[in-house]
Chain A
Amino acid sequence: MIELETVKPFFTDKDELLDEILGRYPEYGRRSAIMPLLWEVQRAERHVSEARIEEIAEILGMHATEVKGVMSFYSTYHEQPVGEYHLQVCSTLSCSLAGADEMTDFLVEELGIVNGETDAEGRFSLQKVECLGSCGTAPVLQVNDTYFERVTRTRCVQLLQALRSGELPEPWRERGGDNVSAEKATLGGDDA
């Protein structure tokens, strides 16, 4: 308990945010706020610590164990802090067919960490994840919240260089398929 008291509660001076989140759900559905509250903490602190779990439980009138039980079900909440740049390589079929396994090997080599690890400086974490819904623009590498699509070896090298100099580049947003604007002109339609 002594340790917990020394940590300043996360939501102390965030009344507005807290009200907004709790206000999304009906009174009888207060518990629904668990996931958004966990997201807020993780976004700011790159993980959700025991102290924050206790705090969220208190806000929602639940036991910490219950919050932890929910949190542990989902794969994108972290109990340990991830690095400043959390590299998530989609390794499911379409990405694998576009070189995701080789990209993972490359990153392991470059960063000196394996799947699930964070480097000693806390800069990079590497994680193989399952389908990110970017199969048409594979392989995809998610850095924190941002998707980088069609990551060729050249692009991967460039991206890593940028991140190492402390810069998160503009995302490569690829489309393909019907997204190609030039083709839109030929689609017809009367909605103008």
Chain B
Amino acid sequence: MKSIEELNAIRDKMKDQVGLRSENPDCTKVVVAMGTCGINAGAREVLNTFAEEIAAKKVKDVMVSQSGCIGMCKYEPVVEVYGPGNEKVTYVEMTADKAKEVVEKHIINGQIVNDYVLK
């Protein structure tokens, strides 16, 4: 079995790059709908992919959080992205691959991925 103590080595390697997460209230928020409907439609993989991609690409000032059922069950998994000015974009029928694209295009480069936006 692996031991959590192995994280000691990872910590020592990373000492100089702390402070990835920001408590900045103006940060971008990624809100994954995680009601029973969302979870059954695949929200878990979508949420984990957002968290992994944001960490892997070292994107600063982004917070990943969850909401309950927002009444759009047939479009689940639904993800709302709130920009720094609090403007909201609602992405529907999300998948892990679509989540990667949204991180790359919208969150990093500021271009909304219209194909996945709620029409």
Q: Do A and B come from one complex?
A: no
Where the two chains meet, the residues of B that have a C-beta atom closer than 8 Å to any C-beta of A are: none
